[in-house]
Structure 1
């Protein structure tokens, strides 16, 4: 007869193997599953309200919530991606055409600088205008080739993208409809006491909602404001600038200033003083105010993650998982800290029990 202990060991081994293999099978659809789960967590309160208004009809409530997600998230994102692709292509063509004029303006700017600045630029190796022009031209050509390769890749993988998109929507429907039931099942399966389960699940949902809802809302507002002032001032490529500013605002200690500060300096140096002053005034007050006021309101201090942890986990996550990493990185960091806090608390409890015994 097989002992109860052997049966349990075999079952744990089988459970581990089956779980790993199942994860391996699902890995090709990781992006679709991940974003379906994130959107379900984010819109679960909306699903609950829909469920109450539709008198408990779960299918209809999930369909209504899914339609709302399509309207306010997926459709605008698709339009922005299309506009951005066209903007990048136009900007590259315009940059190649304007490169001689930019080189002349840069030479004029160098001529107006004092001798001390010239010596520093000589040490830095940025005094040779022709070499700089060649580097800029080579950089533009490389960017153009990179964009062309990505566009070709997207065109070749259209079927795969459509499949992933369909899987995400299909999964999202069932996660919205059955999310509370699945949440209860996951909660029961976690082999921890209720206090530690609550801490882990609360940390997970808090980080997801803070990262996606708060940070993306701040990024969108900053990008829209930045694109607006670029368009008002007649600065070309305002769609591209808006998207880059929105993307950079996701990174703590970096922010949208990486875009508007160099543009403002260039405007001032090229004689467009009033446009440079307006850009600095608007972005330095309104755009920065959004980050200082809106982010604490939407994100808050619930994540309890230092800015430096958020920064390195975001950069590390994006280097491993691409754009999805801006959510995965802070999420793993938060769960890492929460897990070690639970481990420390359990160890202290064992030590106290040993002392009491």
Structure 2
């Protein structure tokens, strides 16, 4: 009854149970843990450089790296977040007061639309413009209410955000200091062949580094360029639209165009031809080139995944995990492909080693 097999079975069941329980405990801090790991992977090379300059002072090197991370990444994002909240409040107020009237913008586009286009829309039962205007007005009102409610929710959840933020910083410090030892412990503990474990962990770190570094760089570049273009052309809420373009740029190929495209169409339809031309030129030849040049170099090249896999995994990840999904989705896809590659290689090796018939 007390055989070694039974003991090992009970131990494995206990191991699985406590592992699941530990993951369950960490779930409320999923975002904090994810970003702590991501920042640790990104800033570990800097930590190693600092450690060479101050040998034996791991605590000081980790603290210096954490400070640099705060200064160049986290604090600027916090400042942009504060400015964005103010911008959202101003735009919401302008929508409610009628200074921003999407129905009026739609009417201006209709007035400039050729008659044959309107006739074509009516042929497909899409010509009830009064109904369209009503839907746009109702949608704008509902959108402003949603934005206001989300802003209230963010304010109510400030305490949770502050706790998660300090959990992330605390975790980041120890991951920078003890990351190498933790990685070695994980490699030794996983019940897989050492080459397979090493390959999968390297793939995990490579994908996180490439996804965060690449997508964030592309988002910052596209949002900045789009926001400056909107500000130059006099579009209200340029910072808000810049952040939306940066967020949507996480979707490869289609992202920022969902914002600047309708604005360019509005400019052209209302006879603001030079504004529309400038925005189309910036959107296609500047923002588009940023996506087409930077993203494959920073993301696809390192992850070695096709663009369509990156696109689908990013969208699917964000649908399931929210904003964290733009990291989680590609990581899962990369590990999926890597695991199946290892499986195929092991099968080929087994076939080669099999005795001839």
TM bucket (normalised to shorter chain) is over 0.9
Query: Does the CA-based 8 Å contact 1:103-1:129 persist in structure 2?
Result: no
Counterparts of 2:163 and 2:213, CA distance in 1: 26
Query: Does the CA-based 8 Å contact 1:36-1:172 persist in structure 2?
Result: yes
2:122 is the counterpart of 1:122 = yes
Query: Which residue number corresponds to residue 266 of structure 1?
Result: 266
Query: Does the CA-based 8 Å contact 1:265-1:276 persist in structure 2?
Result: yes
Query: Does the CA-based 8 Å contact 1:96-1:137 persist in structure 2?
Result: no
Query: Which residue number corresponds to residue 180 of structure 1?
Result: 180
Q: CA deviation at 1:200?
A: 0.7
Query: Which residue number corresponds to residue 26 of structure 2?
Result: 26
Counterparts of 1:185 and 1:100, CA distance in 2: 58
2:281 is the counterpart of 1:281 = yes
Counterparts of 1:151 and 1:102, CA distance in 2: 22
2:7 is the counterpart of 1:7 = yes
Query: Does the CA-based 8 Å contact 2:95-2:141 persist in structure 1?
Result: no
Structure 2: runs of 5 or more not aligned:
none
Q: CA deviation at 1:71?
A: 0.9
Query: Which residue number corresponds to residue 168 of structure 1?
Result: 168
1:148-163 aligned at under 5 Å gives the runs 148-163=148-163
Counterparts of 1:250 and 1:262, CA distance in 2: 19
Counterparts of 1:147 and 1:104, CA distance in 2: 21
Question: Measured at CA, do residues 322 and 109 of structure 1 come closer, stay the same or move farther in structure 2, by a change above 3 Å?
Answer: closer
Query: Does the CA-based 8 Å contact 2:109-2:270 persist in structure 1?
Result: yes
Q: CA deviation at 1:43?
A: 0.9
Query: Which residue number corresponds to residue 72 of structure 1?
Result: 72
Bigger Cα displacement from structure 2, 13-22 vs 121-130: 121-130
1:305-324 aligned at under 5 Å gives the runs 305-324=305-324
1:238-249 aligned at under 5 Å gives the runs 238-249=238-249
Bigger Cα displacement from structure 2, 281-290 vs 200-209: 281-290
Query: Does the CA-based 8 Å contact 1:228-1:238 persist in structure 2?
Result: yes
Query: Which residue number corresponds to residue 195 of structure 1?
Result: 195
2:214 is the counterpart of 1:226 = no
Bigger Cα displacement from structure 2, 58-67 vs 122-131: 122-131
Question: Measured at CA, do residues 130 and 94 of structure 1 come closer, stay the same or move farther in structure 2, by a change above 3 Å?
Answer: farther
Counterparts of 1:95 and 1:159, CA distance in 2: 30
Question: Measured at CA, do residues 104 and 20 of structure 1 come closer, stay the same or move farther in structure 2, by a change above 3 Å?
Answer: closer
Counterparts of 2:107 and 2:28, CA distance in 1: 51
Query: Which residue number corresponds to residue 35 of structure 2?
Result: 35
Query: Does the CA-based 8 Å contact 2:221-2:290 persist in structure 1?
Result: yes
Question: Measured at CA, do residues 108 and 159 of structure 1 come closer, stay the same or move farther in structure 2, by a change above 3 Å?
Answer: closer
Q: CA deviation at 1:356?
A: 5.2
Q: CA deviation at 1:97?
A: 4.3
Provide Cα deviations, 1:204-253, integer angstroms capped at 9, x if missing partner. Answer: 11110111001110110111011111111211111111111111111123
Q: How many residues align?
A: 357
TM-score, normalised to structure 2, is 0.93
Structure 1: runs of 5 or more not aligned:
none
Query: Does the CA-based 8 Å contact 1:227-1:242 persist in structure 2?
Result: yes
Question: How big is the alpha-carbon RMSD for the aligned residues of Structure 1 and Structure 2?
Answer: 2.0
Counterparts of 2:48 and 2:121, CA distance in 1: 61
Query: Does the CA-based 8 Å contact 1:99-1:133 persist in structure 2?
Result: no
TM-score, normalised to structure 1, is 0.93
Question: Measured at CA, do residues 21 and 100 of structure 1 come closer, stay the same or move farther in structure 2, by a change above 3 Å?
Answer: closer
Q: CA deviation at 1:19?
A: 0.7
Query: Which residue number corresponds to residue 51 of structure 2?
Result: 51
